[in-house]
Structure 1
Amino acid sequence: MLVRRLIARLLDWLLVLVVAWPLVHEPVLVVACAVVYDALLLRLNTFGKALTGLRVVGSASGLSLRRALTRTLVTTALPGVGAVLVLVGLGWREPALMAGLGLQQPWVVIGEHVTVGPTGWVASLLLVGGFALLVLSAVEALDLRGTRTWHDRKAGTAVVRLKVAANS
Protein backbone atom coordinates (compact mmCIF):
# COMPACT_ATOMS: atom_id res chain seq x y z
CA MET A 1 0.00 0.00 0.00
CA LEU A 2 2.84 2.41 0.86
CA VAL A 3 4.49 1.97 -2.55
CA ARG A 4 1.16 2.64 -4.31
CA ARG A 5 0.69 5.78 -2.24
CA LEU A 6 4.18 7.05 -3.05
CA ILE A 7 3.72 6.33 -6.76
CA ALA A 8 0.36 8.14 -6.71
CA ARG A 9 1.95 11.17 -5.03
CA LEU A 10 4.81 11.18 -7.54
CA LEU A 11 2.38 10.98 -10.48
CA ASP A 12 0.34 13.87 -9.08
CA TRP A 13 3.44 16.03 -8.61
CA LEU A 14 4.68 15.19 -12.11
CA LEU A 15 1.31 16.08 -13.62
CA VAL A 16 1.25 19.43 -11.83
CA LEU A 17 4.88 20.10 -12.75
CA VAL A 18 4.35 19.30 -16.45
CA VAL A 19 1.21 21.44 -16.66
CA ALA A 20 2.10 24.34 -14.34
CA TRP A 21 5.82 24.90 -14.99
CA PRO A 22 5.48 26.06 -18.62
CA LEU A 23 2.62 28.37 -17.60
CA VAL A 24 4.06 30.03 -14.49
CA HIS A 25 7.78 29.12 -14.57
CA GLU A 26 7.99 29.78 -10.86
CA PRO A 27 8.59 27.15 -8.12
CA VAL A 28 6.44 28.89 -5.51
CA LEU A 29 3.50 29.07 -7.92
CA VAL A 30 3.99 25.43 -8.94
CA VAL A 31 3.69 24.45 -5.26
CA ALA A 32 0.57 26.62 -4.98
CA CYS A 33 -0.88 24.88 -8.05
CA ALA A 34 -0.11 21.48 -6.49
CA VAL A 35 -1.86 22.49 -3.26
CA VAL A 36 -4.94 23.71 -5.15
CA TYR A 37 -4.96 20.57 -7.35
CA ASP A 38 -4.71 18.29 -4.33
CA ALA A 39 -7.30 20.17 -2.27
CA LEU A 40 -9.86 20.32 -5.09
CA LEU A 41 -9.47 16.76 -6.30
CA LEU A 42 -8.99 15.08 -2.93
CA ARG A 43 -12.73 14.84 -2.38
CA LEU A 44 -13.09 13.19 -5.81
CA ASN A 45 -9.86 11.46 -6.79
CA THR A 46 -6.51 12.71 -8.02
CA PHE A 47 -4.99 11.46 -11.26
CA GLY A 48 -2.22 9.54 -9.45
CA LYS A 49 -4.59 7.86 -7.02
CA ALA A 50 -6.95 6.90 -9.85
CA LEU A 51 -4.09 5.28 -11.79
CA THR A 52 -2.86 3.35 -8.77
CA GLY A 53 -6.35 2.27 -7.69
CA LEU A 54 -6.46 4.29 -4.46
CA ARG A 55 -8.98 6.69 -2.96
CA VAL A 56 -8.98 9.00 0.07
CA VAL A 57 -12.01 8.55 2.29
CA GLY A 58 -13.17 10.40 5.37
CA SER A 59 -15.04 9.20 8.39
CA ALA A 60 -18.69 8.16 8.24
CA SER A 61 -19.61 11.85 7.87
CA GLY A 62 -17.50 12.10 4.69
CA LEU A 63 -14.43 14.05 3.69
CA SER A 64 -15.10 17.65 4.73
CA LEU A 65 -13.33 20.62 3.20
CA ARG A 66 -11.52 21.24 6.50
CA ARG A 67 -10.15 17.69 6.54
CA ALA A 68 -9.14 17.91 2.89
CA LEU A 69 -7.29 21.19 3.50
CA THR A 70 -5.58 19.86 6.62
CA ARG A 71 -4.40 16.80 4.73
CA THR A 72 -3.30 18.88 1.73
CA LEU A 73 -1.25 21.27 3.84
CA VAL A 74 0.69 18.40 5.39
CA THR A 75 1.06 16.20 2.29
CA THR A 76 1.57 18.83 -0.42
CA ALA A 77 2.43 22.25 0.98
CA LEU A 78 5.02 21.05 3.51
CA PRO A 79 7.24 19.12 1.05
CA GLY A 80 6.65 21.76 -1.63
CA VAL A 81 7.92 24.56 0.61
CA GLY A 82 10.83 22.33 1.57
CA ALA A 83 11.76 21.82 -2.09
CA VAL A 84 11.55 25.54 -2.81
CA LEU A 85 13.78 26.35 0.20
CA VAL A 86 16.34 23.79 -0.98
CA LEU A 87 16.35 25.32 -4.48
CA VAL A 88 16.83 28.81 -3.08
CA GLY A 89 19.52 27.59 -0.67
CA LEU A 90 21.37 25.98 -3.57
CA GLY A 91 21.30 29.28 -5.45
CA TRP A 92 18.39 28.73 -7.80
CA ARG A 93 18.32 31.70 -10.11
CA GLU A 94 14.68 31.98 -11.08
CA PRO A 95 14.13 35.73 -11.59
CA ALA A 96 10.56 35.93 -10.28
CA LEU A 97 11.39 33.88 -7.17
CA MET A 98 14.50 35.88 -6.38
CA ALA A 99 12.68 39.19 -6.91
CA GLY A 100 9.84 37.97 -4.68
CA LEU A 101 12.36 37.22 -1.94
CA GLY A 102 14.04 40.59 -2.46
CA LEU A 103 17.29 38.96 -3.57
CA GLN A 104 17.47 40.22 -7.16
CA GLN A 105 19.00 43.55 -8.05
CA PRO A 106 17.36 45.51 -10.86
CA TRP A 107 20.59 46.20 -12.76
CA VAL A 108 21.10 45.10 -16.31
CA VAL A 109 24.71 44.68 -17.40
CA ILE A 110 25.30 43.99 -21.09
CA GLY A 111 21.76 42.67 -21.45
CA GLU A 112 21.95 40.24 -18.53
CA HIS A 113 20.41 40.57 -15.11
CA VAL A 114 22.94 40.61 -12.31
CA THR A 115 21.46 38.72 -9.41
CA VAL A 116 22.50 38.48 -5.83
CA GLY A 117 21.57 35.09 -4.42
CA PRO A 118 21.55 34.05 -0.81
CA THR A 119 25.05 33.61 0.54
CA GLY A 120 26.73 32.54 3.72
CA TRP A 121 24.53 31.61 6.64
CA VAL A 122 21.29 32.62 4.86
CA ALA A 123 21.87 30.06 2.10
CA SER A 124 22.83 27.44 4.67
CA LEU A 125 19.76 28.22 6.77
CA LEU A 126 17.46 27.95 3.75
CA LEU A 127 19.10 24.71 2.64
CA VAL A 128 18.95 23.10 6.08
CA GLY A 129 15.38 24.30 6.64
CA GLY A 130 14.30 22.92 3.28
CA PHE A 131 15.95 19.55 3.90
CA ALA A 132 14.39 19.43 7.37
CA LEU A 133 10.92 19.94 5.89
CA LEU A 134 11.56 17.26 3.25
CA VAL A 135 12.82 14.78 5.85
CA LEU A 136 9.87 15.57 8.11
CA SER A 137 7.53 14.95 5.18
CA ALA A 138 9.21 11.65 4.35
CA VAL A 139 9.12 10.44 7.95
CA GLU A 140 5.51 11.53 8.28
CA ALA A 141 4.52 9.72 5.07
CA LEU A 142 6.31 6.53 6.14
CA ASP A 143 4.48 6.42 9.49
CA LEU A 144 1.94 3.99 8.04
CA ARG A 145 -0.36 2.08 10.37
CA GLY A 146 -2.77 0.00 8.36
CA THR A 147 -4.30 2.34 5.79
CA ARG A 148 -3.49 5.48 7.76
CA THR A 149 -0.38 7.62 7.99
CA TRP A 150 0.11 10.42 10.49
CA HIS A 151 -1.51 12.98 8.19
CA ASP A 152 -4.49 10.65 7.71
CA ARG A 153 -4.91 10.27 11.45
CA LYS A 154 -4.71 14.06 11.98
CA ALA A 155 -7.19 14.81 9.16
CA GLY A 156 -9.52 11.91 9.97
CA THR A 157 -8.97 10.28 6.57
CA ALA A 158 -7.76 6.95 5.22
CA VAL A 159 -6.49 5.76 1.85
CA VAL A 160 -8.19 2.63 0.58
CA ARG A 161 -7.77 0.45 -2.48
CA LEU A 162 -10.61 0.58 -4.95
CA LYS A 163 -12.29 -2.73 -5.61
CA VAL A 164 -11.88 -3.96 -9.16
CA ALA A 165 -15.18 -4.99 -10.70
CA ALA A 166 -15.10 -8.69 -11.62
CA ASN A 167 -16.22 -9.57 -15.13
CA SER A 168 -19.16 -11.96 -15.04
Structure 2
Amino acid sequence: MLVRRMVARLLDWLLVLVVAWPLVHEPVLVVLCAAVYDALLLRLNTIGKVLTGLRVVGPASGLDHGRALARTLVTTALPGAGAVLVQTGLGWREPALMAGLGWQQPWVVVGEHLPVGFTGWLAPLLLVSGFAMLMLSAVESLDLRGTRTWHDRKARTAVIRLKVTQSRS
Protein backbone atom coordinates (compact mmCIF):
# COMPACT_ATOMS: atom_id res chain seq x y z
CA MET A 1 0.00 0.00 0.00
CA LEU A 2 2.83 2.41 0.86
CA VAL A 3 4.50 1.89 -2.52
CA ARG A 4 1.19 2.50 -4.33
CA ARG A 5 0.67 5.71 -2.36
CA MET A 6 4.17 6.96 -3.18
CA VAL A 7 3.77 6.09 -6.88
CA ALA A 8 0.41 7.89 -6.95
CA ARG A 9 1.97 10.98 -5.34
CA LEU A 10 4.89 10.89 -7.78
CA LEU A 11 2.53 10.63 -10.76
CA ASP A 12 0.48 13.57 -9.49
CA TRP A 13 3.61 15.70 -8.98
CA LEU A 14 4.90 14.82 -12.45
CA LEU A 15 1.55 15.75 -13.99
CA VAL A 16 1.57 19.12 -12.23
CA LEU A 17 5.20 19.73 -13.22
CA VAL A 18 4.57 18.90 -16.88
CA VAL A 19 1.53 21.19 -17.01
CA ALA A 20 2.50 24.05 -14.68
CA TRP A 21 6.25 24.49 -15.24
CA PRO A 22 6.04 25.62 -18.89
CA LEU A 23 3.36 28.13 -17.89
CA VAL A 24 4.91 29.74 -14.82
CA HIS A 25 8.66 28.81 -14.62
CA GLU A 26 8.50 29.39 -10.89
CA PRO A 27 8.90 26.61 -8.29
CA VAL A 28 6.80 28.43 -5.67
CA LEU A 29 3.89 28.69 -8.10
CA VAL A 30 4.31 25.04 -9.15
CA VAL A 31 3.99 24.01 -5.49
CA LEU A 32 0.90 26.20 -5.21
CA CYS A 33 -0.54 24.56 -8.35
CA ALA A 34 0.17 21.11 -6.87
CA ALA A 35 -1.58 22.05 -3.62
CA VAL A 36 -4.62 23.40 -5.48
CA TYR A 37 -4.72 20.29 -7.69
CA ASP A 38 -4.55 18.02 -4.66
CA ALA A 39 -7.16 19.96 -2.67
CA LEU A 40 -9.64 20.19 -5.54
CA LEU A 41 -9.36 16.56 -6.58
CA LEU A 42 -9.18 15.11 -3.06
CA ARG A 43 -12.95 14.67 -2.88
CA LEU A 44 -13.01 13.03 -6.30
CA ASN A 45 -9.75 11.30 -7.14
CA THR A 46 -6.39 12.47 -8.47
CA ILE A 47 -4.98 11.04 -11.68
CA GLY A 48 -2.18 9.28 -9.77
CA LYS A 49 -4.63 7.60 -7.42
CA VAL A 50 -6.84 6.50 -10.32
CA LEU A 51 -3.85 4.94 -12.10
CA THR A 52 -2.71 3.11 -8.96
CA GLY A 53 -6.21 2.04 -7.90
CA LEU A 54 -6.42 4.12 -4.71
CA ARG A 55 -9.02 6.48 -3.28
CA VAL A 56 -9.11 8.87 -0.30
CA VAL A 57 -12.18 8.42 1.86
CA GLY A 58 -13.38 10.49 4.77
CA PRO A 59 -15.59 9.71 7.72
CA ALA A 60 -19.29 8.92 7.35
CA SER A 61 -20.05 12.65 7.61
CA GLY A 62 -17.95 13.30 4.51
CA LEU A 63 -14.67 15.02 3.72
CA ASP A 64 -15.15 18.72 4.47
CA HIS A 65 -13.01 21.60 3.23
CA GLY A 66 -11.04 21.95 6.48
CA ARG A 67 -9.95 18.31 6.46
CA ALA A 68 -9.06 18.48 2.76
CA LEU A 69 -7.00 21.64 3.34
CA ALA A 70 -5.19 20.18 6.36
CA ARG A 71 -4.35 17.02 4.44
CA THR A 72 -3.16 18.99 1.40
CA LEU A 73 -0.92 21.26 3.48
CA VAL A 74 0.85 18.29 5.04
CA THR A 75 1.03 16.04 1.97
CA THR A 76 1.73 18.59 -0.76
CA ALA A 77 2.71 22.01 0.56
CA LEU A 78 5.20 20.79 3.18
CA PRO A 79 7.43 18.71 0.86
CA GLY A 80 6.98 21.24 -1.97
CA ALA A 81 8.10 24.13 0.22
CA GLY A 82 11.03 22.01 1.42
CA ALA A 83 12.11 21.34 -2.16
CA VAL A 84 11.87 25.04 -3.02
CA LEU A 85 13.99 25.98 0.02
CA VAL A 86 16.62 23.38 -0.91
CA GLN A 87 16.76 24.71 -4.47
CA THR A 88 17.09 28.26 -3.20
CA GLY A 89 19.76 27.30 -0.66
CA LEU A 90 21.77 25.59 -3.38
CA GLY A 91 21.50 28.71 -5.53
CA TRP A 92 19.45 27.05 -8.25
CA ARG A 93 17.07 29.06 -10.37
CA GLU A 94 14.44 30.67 -8.18
CA PRO A 95 13.74 34.03 -9.83
CA ALA A 96 10.87 35.51 -7.86
CA LEU A 97 12.03 34.43 -4.41
CA MET A 98 15.63 35.56 -5.02
CA ALA A 99 14.46 38.91 -6.38
CA GLY A 100 12.07 39.29 -3.44
CA LEU A 101 14.93 38.72 -1.02
CA GLY A 102 17.04 41.35 -2.79
CA TRP A 103 19.43 39.15 -4.74
CA GLN A 104 20.25 40.00 -8.32
CA GLN A 105 19.71 37.56 -11.10
CA PRO A 106 22.75 36.16 -12.91
CA TRP A 107 23.77 38.56 -15.62
CA VAL A 108 24.10 37.29 -19.14
CA VAL A 109 27.38 38.45 -20.68
CA VAL A 110 28.13 37.39 -24.25
CA GLY A 111 25.89 34.34 -23.88
CA GLU A 112 27.51 33.11 -20.64
CA HIS A 113 25.87 33.10 -17.24
CA LEU A 114 27.90 34.64 -14.46
CA PRO A 115 26.76 33.02 -11.21
CA VAL A 116 25.57 35.21 -8.40
CA GLY A 117 25.90 33.26 -5.16
CA PHE A 118 24.34 33.70 -1.78
CA THR A 119 26.41 35.42 0.84
CA GLY A 120 26.42 34.96 4.57
CA TRP A 121 24.24 32.65 6.59
CA LEU A 122 20.99 32.79 4.62
CA ALA A 123 21.83 30.12 2.02
CA PRO A 124 22.79 27.44 4.58
CA LEU A 125 19.74 28.34 6.65
CA LEU A 126 17.45 27.90 3.65
CA LEU A 127 19.17 24.63 2.73
CA VAL A 128 18.92 23.15 6.23
CA SER A 129 15.31 24.33 6.60
CA GLY A 130 14.39 22.73 3.29
CA PHE A 131 16.05 19.42 4.18
CA ALA A 132 14.31 19.47 7.57
CA MET A 133 10.92 19.96 5.90
CA LEU A 134 11.64 17.13 3.44
CA MET A 135 12.74 14.80 6.25
CA LEU A 136 9.65 15.68 8.31
CA SER A 137 7.50 14.91 5.28
CA ALA A 138 9.27 11.58 4.69
CA VAL A 139 8.95 10.50 8.32
CA GLU A 140 5.30 11.57 8.36
CA SER A 141 4.56 9.60 5.19
CA LEU A 142 6.29 6.47 6.48
CA ASP A 143 4.20 6.50 9.69
CA LEU A 144 1.75 4.09 8.07
CA ARG A 145 -0.66 2.16 10.26
CA GLY A 146 -2.97 0.07 8.13
CA THR A 147 -4.39 2.41 5.51
CA ARG A 148 -3.67 5.57 7.51
CA THR A 149 -0.57 7.72 7.83
CA TRP A 150 -0.21 10.57 10.32
CA HIS A 151 -1.85 13.09 8.00
CA ASP A 152 -4.73 10.68 7.42
CA ARG A 153 -5.27 10.27 11.15
CA LYS A 154 -5.22 14.03 11.73
CA ALA A 155 -7.58 14.75 8.81
CA ARG A 156 -9.71 11.69 9.69
CA THR A 157 -9.26 10.22 6.22
CA ALA A 158 -7.99 6.90 4.89
CA VAL A 159 -6.62 5.73 1.57
CA ILE A 160 -8.25 2.55 0.36
CA ARG A 161 -7.46 0.26 -2.52
CA LEU A 162 -10.26 0.03 -5.05
CA LYS A 163 -11.38 -3.43 -6.02
CA VAL A 164 -10.89 -4.27 -9.65
CA THR A 165 -14.07 -5.49 -11.26
CA GLN A 166 -13.56 -8.01 -14.00
CA SER A 167 -16.11 -8.39 -16.72
CA ARG A 168 -17.06 -11.91 -17.69
CA SER A 169 -16.75 -12.65 -21.35
Same fold (TM over 0.5): yes
The aligned residue for residue 13 of structure 1 is 13
**Deviation by residue 1:58-108 (Cα, 9 ceiling, x = unmatched):** 000111111110000000000000000000000113333321332226988
Distance 2:115 2:100 in 1: 13
Letter in 1 for 2:14: L
The aligned residue for residue 123 of structure 1 is 123
The aligned residue for residue 162 of structure 1 is 162
Q: How many residues align?
A: 168
Q: How far apart are 1:12 and its partner, in Å?
A: 0.3
Q: Please report the RMSD computed on the Cα atoms of aligned residues, expressed in angstroms.
A: 2.0
The aligned residue for residue 96 of structure 2 is 96
Runs of 4+ that moved beyond 4 A: 105-116
TM-score (norm 1): 0.92
Structure 1, unpaired ranges of 5+: none
Asked if 1:67 is matched to 2:64, the reply is: no
Asked if 1:31 is matched to 2:31, the reply is: yes
TM-score (norm 2): 0.91
**Deviation by residue 1:35-69 (Cα, 9 ceiling, x = unmatched):** 00000001100000000000000000111111110
Distance 1:57 1:121 in 2: 44
Asked if 1:53 is matched to 2:53, the reply is: yes
Is this contact kept in 1: 2:140–2:150, CA < 8 A?
A: yes
Q: How far apart are 1:109 and its partner, in Å?
A: 6.2
Distance 1:99 1:112 in 2: 20
SS at match of 2:121: helix
Is this contact kept in 2: 1:20–1:33, CA < 8 A?
A: yes
Distance 2:113 2:2 in 1: 45
Structure 1 window deviating more from structure 2 (109-118 vs 155-164): it is 109-118
Structure 1 window deviating more from structure 2 (149-158 vs 87-96): it is 87-96
